[in-house]
Structure 1
């Protein structure tokens, strides 16, 4: 025994400590554990240094590649993360988790096609890989392919029927498909699975709102806000529901709450402006429309709506400018074309007005107001027959259009056909007995008939 100890000691002297040194794989794993410890403590750079040393010790250490990739991902260094996940996949092509991680990273790089390829590979390797279905569904949704996203949510729910997140996400796609009852059913199941999920209440609220069940929608948004008071979407959606209930002051308050959380929430500015307009707070509406344009100068509807405020304020030149900007962005916006025509009319530029009304009619041949307005412009130019034709067309589209009967009656009066003028004006009053222009016109016509 003493001889064995002596031989061992002699070998140690001759060969140093090599006999007791760690193998490269063991050294690498020790460094991986050290790196994991640094990462848990929040020192990602030291973690990366340890993972890199681990790979120097053992270039085939898949755990070092995966953990360093995780660390790079946490630093938003997605290119290096992809490179490390790719090295891990090269070492073990059957590792479904590596494909999934790389797929997630591609998604963060907005490269959804590559993400889907990797996530599909992960699912091929493990057909019951719930997380991979979740991630692929999100990638499909980011591409706007809701049908394929729906199929993946469906598959995920088949694996875990109590997966609340998949249920409320599938519910949202039911909502997009106008299948509101199915949306409500899925979101209700999601809430049963996890009553603390704000998004499930919000998505169910969207479906209730679409069904015009505004009180139920508001109740769900109330709960969503209670669970997540820092979500601007929750306040925004409740504001929309309150708008449909004509609760404009409460809607303004909710839009304001959404804007306070997200100061660049363009739709909240736009909708708050519209609610303010209904409340006749025109200066406030003007400010909000302008903010919305600052945030997104490519939205034709906002220019159009700000043009309406300028029209209300009788600033016809600015109104025309905004309608023109709207039309530059969307030449098919018939309402903007019609309103610009009205602004030209108020500036007594009837030729420009008629040109705009005509374009509006070309875009939307069923826009009765454009025919009516063109008829008024032609009346101003004393083109009474053309005006009568336009008012007649407006009436054909909307037989309850009292103002069109009044205007056509006035054209008949100018042509000397008092009987037809009386008939049209009388008919206008059968539609709207309190129509003061019709009352005044009928009184004048009867006076003229009596005098004749």
Structure 2
């Protein structure tokens, strides 16, 4: 499927999509020219809205039943939805009508990619390139196939060629940056992205892509400069405003971030994401009331936005309103139960109001969905320790240590629990290991358990490692 949405007609495409959706909602007859239908379908595919893309294909084919382009689009959408048999049936039908069409090979490549048959997918895409070597979408699909095949250098090569042919492919930029990051080659590609701004210094997309590059490298000042050029050239470049705001957040410049998030959507058409981000910025500034208002506005647009529910819980937590925060944290985990952060926050709130059993359940869930999150394990074991269940706390931390043997934090906590359980020899052995892993973190032992400062044996062992 060719990317028909270029930067210049992006707004026109969105207007067409809205008109299409309005006509469907009002059950009006849907009539568009072929190019408009192609743009509508491409928009949905780009945003991974494959059910809507199929709906647009069906509406288009009812108006243009003999369009080869639409039949190909439908086959590709079916493949992306996982209906491979129907996709193959459809593309075989097109092949009989137009056997020399390069999109037949491309579509078969997409089907193979979706099936995980990457070698075959690459062969199909290369066959398509032999017919049309300057097709940026074929290079992009080759990049996807190689990336899925874990061949990141080959993927990067084709993403780069795709961007040379079409610098407006934002997805291509993101995938290229990911591949370069994975292979440790980000730094050496600065000139590749700068070349686009050198060739066309008035291209907002070129500056936007350069900003993405610097953002990935955490070079915040340069990223902000690049995004700023993009929005100066094109003030209604909403994605660039969003990323400029994100860059300011990374620099903890929250008021600047708020101003840019306010510009990251068309006037009068705020998005739930932008409103939630603004709420979070006010939260960081500890301005609770405007933060609450923005989180609430986000929920008015999207009542199932877990981030906004969680944000309101954090606001209440920060104000010491623990009991009230529980409702919001529970709603957040109900909507998105795969966040260890959400479950840990719920656990902390439940524990604070004395709901120990509920807190333990929440922390258990936190470690289940996010076993790499240190805080979940520490907080869960700390409750057991506080309840006097020293042996259970030891067993839990041993499990955490087995999962993260190089995490000194766990070893220090385990040392304290072993001491409380009267297992001195094991405690000192554990402390030695913790000190060898990270001596500086030994202060954690006394932060969590101040009473241990008075144990001379511990102090001697720590002093030995200092020397």
Which bracket does the TM-score occupy, shorter chain normalised?
0.5 to 0.7
Which deviations, in whole Å up to 9, do the C-alpha atoms of 1:128-180 show, x marking residues without a partner? Answer: 33234334434543454444432332121121223333223322322221222
Which of 302, 312, 315 matches 1:238?
312
- Rounded to whole Å, the distance in 2 between the matches of 1:230 and 1:115 is 40
2:281 is the counterpart of 1:248? no
Is residue 154 from structure 1 mapped to residue 154 from structure 2 by the alignment?
A: no
CA spacing shift, 1:366–1:105, aligned 2, 3 Å? closer
Matched with 1:330 is 407
Matched, 1:364 2:453: no
Matched, 1:226 2:226: no
Change (3 A) 1:53 1:371: closer
Partner in structure 2 of residue 36 of structure 1:
69
Instruction: Determine whether 1:289 maps to 2:363.
Output: yes
3-state SS of paired residue (1:364)? helix
- Pick closer, same or farther for the CA change 1:209–1:52 going to 2, 3 Å: closer
1:281 shift after superposition: 1.1
State which of 240, 243, 246 in structure 2 corresponds to 1:166.
240
Partner of 2:102: 51
Rate the CA distance shift 1:289–1:115 in 2: closer, same or farther, 3 A.
farther
Describe the shift of the 1:75–1:163 C-alpha distance in structure 2 as closer, same or farther (beyond 3 A).
same
Q: Do the aligned partners of residues 243 and 86 (structure 1) sit closer, same or farther apart at CA in structure 2, a change above 3 Å counting?
A: closer
> Are 1:66 and 2:145 matched, yes or no?
no
Structure 1 counterpart of 2:47:
none
CA distance in 2, matches of 1:56, 1:110: 26
Which of 274, 278, 300 lines up with 1:204 in the alignment?
Answer: 278
Q: Separation in 2 of the partners of 1:229 and 1:117? A: 44
Equivalent positions of 1:93-104 (< 5 A) are: 95-97=165-167, 102-104=172-174
Q: How many correspondences in the alignment?
A: 339
Other structure's SS at 2:293 match:
helix
In structure 2, what is the equivalent of residue 444 of structure 1?
none
Whole-angstrom distance in 1 between the partners of 2:218 and 2:304: 26
Equivalent residues in 2 for 1:35-434, closer than 5 Å: 36-41=69-74, 43=76, 46=91, 50-52=101-103, 59=130, 61=132, 65-68=135-138, 95-97=165-167, 102-107=172-177, 113=186, 119-190=193-264, 193=267, 195-323=269-397, 325=400, 328-332=405-409, 337=412, 340-341=415-416, 343-344=417-418, 346-348=420-422, 363-364=442-443, 370=449, 372-375=451-454
Asked if structure 2 preserves the Cα contact closer than 8 Å seen for 1:225 and 1:234, the reply is yes
CA distance in 2, matches of 1:86, 1:120: 13
Residue 425 of structure 1 corresponds to none
Task: Check conservation: 2:244, 2:260, Cα contact below 8 A.
Answer: yes
CA–CA distance in 2 between the matches of 1:273 and 1:302? Answer: 9
The 3 A distance-change label for structure 1 pair 353 and 85 is closer
What is the alpha-carbon distance in structure 2 between the residues aligned to residue 53 and residue 190 of structure 1?
39
**Aligned CA distance change for structure 1 residues 174 and 148 (closer, same or farther; 3 Å):** same
Please identify, of 292-301 and 182-191, the stretch whose mean Cα deviation from structure 2 is larger.
182-191
Cα displacement string for residues 234-259 of structure 1 (whole angstroms, at most 9, x for unaligned residues): 22222211211223234222222222
> Unmatched 5+ residue regions in structure 2?
1-65, 78-86, 106-125, 460-467
> Given the two structures, how large is their TM-score scaled by the length of structure 1?
0.60
Partner of 1:412: none
TM-score, normalization: structure 2? 0.58
Contact 1:272 1:288 in 2 (8 A): yes
Contact (CA 8 Å) 1:69, 1:82: kept in 2 or not?
A: no
Mapped to 1, the partners of 2:331 and 2:221 lie a distance apart of: 34
- Please name the residue that 2:27 is paired with: none
Long gaps (5+) in structure 1: 1-32, 387-452
Question: 1:143–1:84: structure 2 CA closer, same or farther, 3 Å change rule?
Answer: closer
Q: For the Cα contact (< 8 Å) 1:202–1:221, is it kept in 2?
A: yes
| CA distance, structure 1, for counterparts of residue 238 and residue 162 of structure 2 | 32
* Structure 1 CA distance for aligned equivalents of residues 325 and 421 of structure 2: 35
Q: C-alpha separation between the residues in 2 aligned to 1:158 and 1:139?
A: 19
Aligned partners of 2:104, 2:364: CA distance in 1, in Å?
56
The separation in 2 between residues aligned to 1:85 and 1:292, in whole angstroms, is: 37
- Checking the alignment, whether the CA contact within 8 Å between 1:123 and 1:129 is kept in structure 2 is yes
Cα distance in 1 for residues equivalent to 2:217 and 2:305: 24
